[in-house]
Amino acid sequence: MKISNKGMILPSAFTAGNIFCGFFAIISATRGDIEFACWLIVLAGLLDFIDGKVAFFSNTESRFGMELDSLADLSSFGIAPGIIMYHFFLSGRGEWSWLISFLFLLCGALRLARFNVEATGAGKRKFKGLPIPMAAGCLISFVPFSSGPLFNALFFDVNYSRFLVSMMLILAGLMVSNVEYPVAPRINLGTIGGKFGLLAGAVFMFSMVYFWKTLLFPFAFIYASWGMLRAILLGAVSHLPDKNSG
């Protein structure tokens, strides 16, 4: 496999930044700086988004880039969030509580492997299973969100430790499920609509990163829940009796 294309250097640099953020997040979590570790995962998510767009617009998408990106995602959105959650609340829940973090990591690895096998390029319009960056974002954004006024108003009587265990298990299951989630549309900069879409996407990403303590958890939670509820509703409708039958 030839990987000497110089055009791959720029997107790979963003992927390397993703790996760095994931690794430093693990170091920060073990030092007890949990919120900073979570912020590094947010930054890793931004770099993960950018490297894909850079590869697309520079026409340097490749199998090598996809494999490297998957390794980065496993580190930043699988291993790092699992360790962060362990140090955040699991370490005091029993000797085997780390298995919950491991299950999240394992399902994330399976999700990435399946994505690599089933990837169909630019025409792909749906993800099968919850994307691992969104699952990780839902987890780590809970850390600052749980101490904010909105959480206290909505979940004042919720045992957040049990809530987090349940959420980790559900997110793990969604990653390896057949539940479908929408893919961000490809942008054609040759049209006015495409340029407006790029601007709107940039504003959205900036808002998610800048106001991540407030906005990221509700958005990620709604996104994950929407796919699950949609699948349940479609399954219920498909089992309704046919009016023409009988």
| pLDDT tens readout for residues 17-58 | 999 999 999 999 999 999 999 999 999 999 998 888 787 777
pTM of the model: 0.86
- Tokens representing 194? 């495409």
In degrees and rounded to multiples of 5, residue 89 shows phi and psi of -150, -20
For the packed helices 9-30 and 80-88, what is the interaxial angle rounded to 10 degrees? 20
Percent of the chain with pLDDT over 90: 49
Burial of residue 114 (number of CB atoms within 10 Å: 0-12, 13-18, 19+): middle
Burial of residue 121 (number of CB atoms within 10 Å: 0-12, 13-18, 19+): exposed
| pLDDT tens readout for residues 111-129 | 999 988 886 554 466 888 9
| pLDDT tens readout for residues 168-203 | 999 999 999 999 998 876 666 667 776 677 788 788
Domains of the chain in start order, with CATH, are: 6-238 (1.20.120)
